[in-house]
C-alpha cells in the first residue's frame, strides 16, 4: 500500500502561513534541491482489497478519527530527502491508533527508520539522500520502530534531529536554508536524553501484510476507510512548488523528482475530484 499512480488533482493538508517573499523563495529553493528518486519499490501488489459498496464524495481522516492526534501532524523534513521515512512513520502512527480503537496513541520515529534502516536485505536506501518506502514498512515489520516526533518535540524515544531551516522553535531561530542536502544522522540505538523508556522496549511492530494497493480509486478509498491514511509516491514538477491553496493541477514545468506523502482522504470541488494529502514540507507550505 505504498506506491500509487500519479493523480491529477491534489489538495495538501498543511497550514499556509503568510511569510515574507524572500523567506518563501528560499524555502522553495531548498525544497527543489531535496527532490527524491525512489526507483522501483519492489512491493507486491495486493490481490484482493475488500470494497466498500457506498463511498461518499468526501472523506477526511482527521474528521473520521479525531481521537488519533497523529493524523493532524505536519512534519518538516528540512534539508534532508526523508519524505520516504516521514510519510511512512506518519501513516504507521495513524494506523496504530485507528486499528487499536484509539488505545495506542503513539507517534513513531522517522529518525529511527531514516538512520537505522540500512544494510542487508532490508536496506532502505541512503538516508537523507533518499530511500525506499516499501523497505521502511518492512523494517517496521521485522525490526520495529521506536516512538519519536518532529524536531524539538521531546515526544518519544528518538525525535527528528534535523532542525527546520529558517524556523523559530520556542526562543531559538535556526539558520536559513543552505540548499544543500544534510548528512544522514548516525544510527543511535538508544533513546534521547530525558526519555524514561528503553530503546529496545520502546519498539513497536507492524504486521506481515505489507503490500502495494492496485491502481484503483475505489480500492484505495476502501482501504483508507477501513484502515486509515496510506503512503503514496508522486512525481513533482516545477509548478508544484508554487502551490499555496486550492486544487493543484499540473500545467507546466519540468519534472524535478518524486515525493512521498500521506493520503488522508478525498473530495470534489466544483465538479473536480481531488485527493487530500499531507506533505512533509512544514506548516508554511500548503493549506489547511
CA–CA distance, 275 with 264 (Å, rounded to integer): 8
Distances (CA, A) of 57 to 62, 218, 220, 274, 280: 16, 11, 14, 10, 26
170-221 tens-digit pLDDT: 788 888 888 899 999 999 999 999 999 999 999 999 887 777 888 889 999 9
In our burial notation (b when 16+ CB lie closer than 10 A, e otherwise), range 224-249 reads bbeebbbbbbbebbeebbebeeebbe
Q: Which residues pair with 260 in a beta bridge?
A: 233
Low-confidence ranges of the chain (pLDDT < 70): 1-47, 119-122, 288
CA–CA distance, 34 with 113 (Å, rounded to integer): 18
Q: Assign domain 10-278 one CATH number from 3.90.70.10, 3.40.190.10, 3.20.20.450, 3.40.50.2020.
A: 3.90.70.10
Q: What is the pTM of this model?
A: 0.85
Pairing relationship of beta strands 230-237 and 172-173 according to DSSP bridges: unpaired
Domain residue extents for the chain:
10-278
Secondary structure of residue 257 in the 3-state scheme: strand
Backbone φ and ψ of 174, nearest 5° = -90, 155
Amino acid at each position: 500500500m505504498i506506491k500509487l499512480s500519479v493523480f491529477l488533482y491534489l489538495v495538501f493538508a498543511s497550514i499556509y502561513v503568510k511569510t515574507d517573499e524572500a523567506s518563501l523563495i528560499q524555502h522553495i529553493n531548498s525544497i527543489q534541491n531535496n527532490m527524491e528518486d525512489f526507483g522501483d519499490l519492489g512491493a507486491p501488489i495486493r490481490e484482493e482489497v475488500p470494497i466498500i459498496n457506498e463511498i461518499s464524495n468526501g472523506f477526511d481522516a482527521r474528521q473520521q478519527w479525531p481521537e488519533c492526534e497523529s493524523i493532524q501532524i505536519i512534519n518538516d523534513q528540512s534539508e534532508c530527502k526523508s519524505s520516504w521515512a516521514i510519510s511512512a512513520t506518519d501513516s504507521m502512527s495513524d494506523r496504530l491508533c485507528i486499528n487499536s480503537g484509539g488505545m495506542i496513541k503513539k507517534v513513531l520515529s522517522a529518525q529511527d527508520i531514516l538512520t537505522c534502516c540500512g544494510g542487508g536485505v532490508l536496506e532502505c536506501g541512503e538516508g537523507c539522500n533518499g530511500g525506499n518506502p516499501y523497505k521502511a514498512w518492512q523494517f517496521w515489520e521485522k525490526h520495529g520502530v521506536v516512538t519519536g516526533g518532529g524536531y524539538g518535540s521531546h515526544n518519544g524515544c528518538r525525535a527528528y534531529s534535523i532542525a527546520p531551516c529558517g524556523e523559530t522553535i520556542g526562543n531559538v531561530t535556526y539558520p536559513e536554508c543552505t540548499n544543500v542536502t544534510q548528512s544522514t544522522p548516525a544510527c543511535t540505538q538508544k533513546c534521547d536524553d530525558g526519555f524514561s523508556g528503553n530503546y529496545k522496549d520502546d519498539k513497536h511492530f507492524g504486521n506481515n501484510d505489507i503490500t502495494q494497493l492496485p491502481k484503483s480509486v475505489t480500492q484505495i478509498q476502501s482501504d483508507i476507510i477501513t484502515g486509515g491514511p496510506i503512503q503514496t509516491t508522486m512525481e513533482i514538477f516545477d509548478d508544484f512548488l508554487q502551490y499555496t491553496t486550492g486544487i493543484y493541477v499540473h500545467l507546466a514545468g519540468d519534472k524535478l523528482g518524486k515525493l512521498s506523502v500521506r493520503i488522508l482522504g478525498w473530495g470534489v470541488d466544483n465538479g473536480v475530484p481531488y485527493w487530500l494529502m499531507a506533505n512533509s514540507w512544514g506548516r508554511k507550505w500548503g493549506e489547511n
